[in-house]
Amino acid sequence: MFTRIYYYFKDHRPVLFVVFFTSLALLAFFASRIRFEEDISKVLPNDKKIEKLNEVFQNSKFADKLVITASLKDTAAIKPETLTAFAESFAGEINTSLNRYISKIYYKADDDIALSLFNTINNNLPVYLDEKDYATIDSLIAPQTTRQTLEQDFKTLVSPAGLALKNMISRDPVGICDCLG
């Protein structure tokens, strides 16, 4: 089939150029009709449950922020120093080359912002849940799972990260918000 097309266009050069430029014009026409939308809520379907979520997004300070997550593919070899160094280097490069487009860069965890986001999710948790999430919650509050989660929470609290995470752990000790994300 492709060789027939090739030989046809080889013998009919003017047709090749007409088809090429017509295709190019069509692509340019449709590309010019693309409009970018910055409102994330336009992607979500219209639903009573989703309306609440849209209201949270539209009234949130987080709606005008871009979040970039850096992680390593090999989770066994995670060294926090490597990711921290990369984040500092990346933020420095962005700050020097794109500073006229960016008003503020947060490349270190801001406890107040993280806690505010956590509270928003926690306060509006039913909006984010569906039927399978309730099954997950049932498994999270099983005695054995609760015991394991609380042991992990204790290890986190006695680590250096415990200073930053103590409010989150005290508000969600079994990790419901963590498992639903």
Range with top average pLDDT, 12-21, 53-62, 167-176: 12-21
**Cα-flanking dihedrals φ and ψ of residue 9, to 5°?**
-70, -25
Q: Which two tokens stand for residue 69?
A: 């997550």
pLDDT digits (tens, 9 = 90+) for 105-152: 877 766 676 677 777 777 777 777 777 877 777 777 788 888 888 888
In the chain, % of residues over pLDDT 90: 17
More confident residue, 42 or 5: 5
> How many Cα neighbours within 13 Å face the side chain of 100?
1
pTM score > 0.85 for this model?
Answer: no
**Who contacts 161 (Cβ-Cβ below 8 Å, separation ≥6)?**
none
Burial class for 158, CB neighbours closer than 10 Å (0-12, 13-18, 19+): exposed
Confidence of residue 18 (pLDDT cuts 50, 70, 90): very high
CA distance 18 to 162: 68
Q: Are 114 and 163 in contact (CB under 8 A)?
A: no
CA distance 126 to 131: 11
Q: Are 57 and 124 in contact (CB under 8 A)?
A: no
